[in-house]
């Protein structure tokens, strides 16, 4: 994602660079697991294991891109492009990352149980699906 950040931080007059950087996303385990735990993948009939399925036509990447088409990122910062998948991906990552908000992270949630964090802003809409249910 360093390349995306470099392209976004470069000369704003280089429109192709900004467009390219704003559409580059990486689906890591935090983002994938968030989509699994919350039930997003199940609701969209897009269940898949982490890995190359995240970049398949109905995978995590496609879901993030679809969501970005419905969120005008300029509402958060007028300098942002309207459709900004990298911003959506980063927001999801930041929500989960230990160095971010650390809310939906496997270090805080026992992956064999449903999340019990009632203070999570997603709690009411979250399906709290176990990643590794007990056998």
- What is the sign of the dihedral through the CA atoms of 114, 126, 90 and 44? positive
pLDDT-derived band of residue 135, with 50, 70 and 90 as boundaries? low
Tens digit of pLDDT for each residue in 70-124?
999 999 999 888 999 999 999 999 999 999 999 998 888 888 888 888 999 989 9
pLDDT of res. 91: 95
Instruction: Answer yes or no: is 110 within a domain.
Output: no
Instruction: Answer yes or no: is 51 within a domain.
Output: yes
Instruction: Answer yes or no: is 92 within a domain.
Output: yes
Residue span of the structural domain in which 47 resides: 2-96
pLDDT of res. 8: 77
């Amino acid at each position: 994602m360093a390349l995306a950040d470099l392209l976004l931080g470069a000369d704003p007059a280089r429109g192709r660079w900004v467009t390219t950087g704003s559409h580059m996303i990486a689906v890591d385990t935090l983002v994938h697991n968030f989509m699994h735990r919350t039930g997003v993948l199940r609701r969209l009939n897009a269940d898949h294991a982490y890995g190359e399925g995240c970049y398949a036509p109905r995978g995590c990447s496609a879901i993030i891109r679809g969501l970005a088409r419905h969120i005008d990122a300029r509402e958060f910062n007028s300098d942002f492009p309207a459709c900004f998948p990298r911003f959506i991906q980063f927001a999801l990552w930041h929500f989960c990352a230990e160095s971010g908000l650390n809310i939906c992270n496997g270090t805080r949630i026992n992956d064999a149980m449903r999340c019990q964090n009632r203070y999570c802003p997603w709690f009411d809409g979250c399906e709290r699906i176990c990643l590794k249910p007990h056998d």
